[in-house]
Amino acid sequence: MSQLMMRWSIRIALLAWLVALPMSSGLRGQTPAASALPLPVERTGAELYRAACAACHATDGTGAPRSLVGFALPLPDFTDCAFTSVEPYADWLAIGHQGGPVRGFDRKMPAFGDALSEEEILRTLKHIKDFCEDPAWAPGDLNLPRALVTEKAFPENEAVLTTTTGGSELGAVTNEVLYEKRFGSRNQLEVAVPLSLKESTAGWSRGLGDVKVAVKRVLHHSLATGTIVSAAGEVVLPTGKESLGLGKGVTIFEPFITAGQILPRNSFIHAQAGVEVPADRDLAVPEAFWRGAIGTTIEQGRFGRAWSPIFEVLGARELESGQRVQWDLVPQMQVTLNKRQHLMINAGVRIPVADRGERRAQVITYFLWDWFDGGLRDGW
Ligand code: HEC
């Protein structure tokens, strides 16, 4: 090799080394393992779940044993559809993001808001939801806020105490206890027991009103379209003394259809239509009714108290020639009371607008307890 070639090859090697030096020092910040991996890919819900949640909730979603987690607090069983299907994503996102205490649960359920994006938490929650393998259970996202009068389509586990005052020129107060319980994946049984205090020309009377028993069944639900439709059959029993104005004095059958629809921006509608058919046509006239409610939910701060203004329109008409439609409007406000949001109240006024006749405005309030989500003292 000539001297000249030797000098040139040294110069080229030197140059190559000078060029390579900053590049290799740039790489030095990375761990060899990371630089050897392919570009980062989006982690699936299952991967995120296994990495972040399975230590406590177990890979199969049933909850890791006490000996492994080191605490006695029972873990939920995510394979139990009765539990997993009814919880809306919004509540679980709050828990996954902020930790258990945001919904009045234990702080052993950690907050992942700093470690995972909301998108990643939602993907993980989808994986948890999939532990329930029976699609017959309607998702809790379709459980829309309950209006004062219009019956909703979602099958519930709840107790509602409704107080109604006014309605006529004379005094009247009715307290109704309603108990609802789900059975099977699609059905719900309900019993309503009213206790009334009524004024008549003969004075005040007090007693049991007409007890109602109903069965409801979900016919269709779809989270993709935000729709739920149910059919129900109700029987009103003549347990209230008609002579004292406490009841209608006749058994009434009341079949109805009810539907709920999610609208954009946390809004929703309920619609219900049915007929009241008395067992004895001589004692009462059949009546058709239709009801609609539109509302929206406003969160007080991120993951805070939920306020739901709702507006109902109620129509009813006795199925006899010459009868007019009775229209009522019911503006109202529902608000959650505690962090768990399973206790709430609603208050509104039922205002007759057409064919008022003897009818006067009524003040209606309810206290609602979603007993499946915890006791009255839980979740504050
Ligand atoms: C350190 C243990 C632990 C880890 C890790 C953990 N959890 Fe939990 N989680 C709990 C405990 C304990 C409860 C029950 C809390 C209670 O009943 O007060 C719970 C409850 C829940 C609930 C049920 C809330 C309800 O409505 O009853 C959800 C949903 C949940 N966790 C989601 C997750 C997700 C998602 C992850 C992973 C991103 C995760 N958890 C990781 C301990 C944990």
* Residue-wise DSSP of 219-244: EEEETTTTEEEEEEEEEE---S-GGG
Question: Is 340 near ligand 1, meaning CB less than 6 Å away?
Answer: no
Same domain, 173 and 316: yes
The answer on 217 and 270 residing in a single domain is yes
Looking at the structure, do residues 322 and 242 belong to the same domain, yes or no? yes
Rounded to the nearest 5°, which phi and psi values hold at 95?
Answer: -70, -45
- What's the whole-model pTM score? 0.86
> Residue 206: which domain range?
140-373
The reply to whether 324 and 192 lie within a common domain is: yes
Ligand 1 atom closest to Cα of residue 112: 38
Residues 165 and 50 in one domain: no
CATH of the domain at 194: 2.40.160.40
Q: What are 325's strand-pairing partners?
A: none
Q: How far is CA 101 from CA 157, 293, 372, in A?
A: 23, 33, 18
330 - beta bridge partners? 312
Query: Distance from the CA of 57 to the center of ligand 1, in angstroms?
Result: 7
Indicate if ligand 1 lies below 6 Å from the C-beta of 61: no
- State which of 109, 131, 380 you would mutate to test the pocket of ligand 1, scoring each by most atoms of that ligand within 8 A of its C-beta: 109
pLDDT (tens place) for every residue of the chain, 380 residues total: 556 555 655 555 544 544 444 444 434 434 444 445 666 678 999 999 999 999 999 999 999 999 999 999 999 999 999 999 999 999 999 999 999 999 999 999 999 999 999 999 999 999 999 999 999 999 999 999 999 999 999 999 999 999 999 998 888 999 999 999 999 999 999 999 999 999 888 889 999 999 999 999 999 999 999 999 999 999 999 999 988 889 999 999 999 999 999 999 999 999 999 999 999 999 999 999 999 999 999 999 889 999 999 999 999 999 998 899 999 999 999 999 999 999 999 999 999 998 777 889 999 999 999 999 999 999 99
Question: Which residues 6+ apart lie within 8 Å of 292 measured at CB?
Answer: 150, 269, 270, 271, 272, 312, 313
Q: Provide the number of structural domains found in the chain.
A: 2
Residue 70 CA neighbour count, 13 Å, CB half: 2
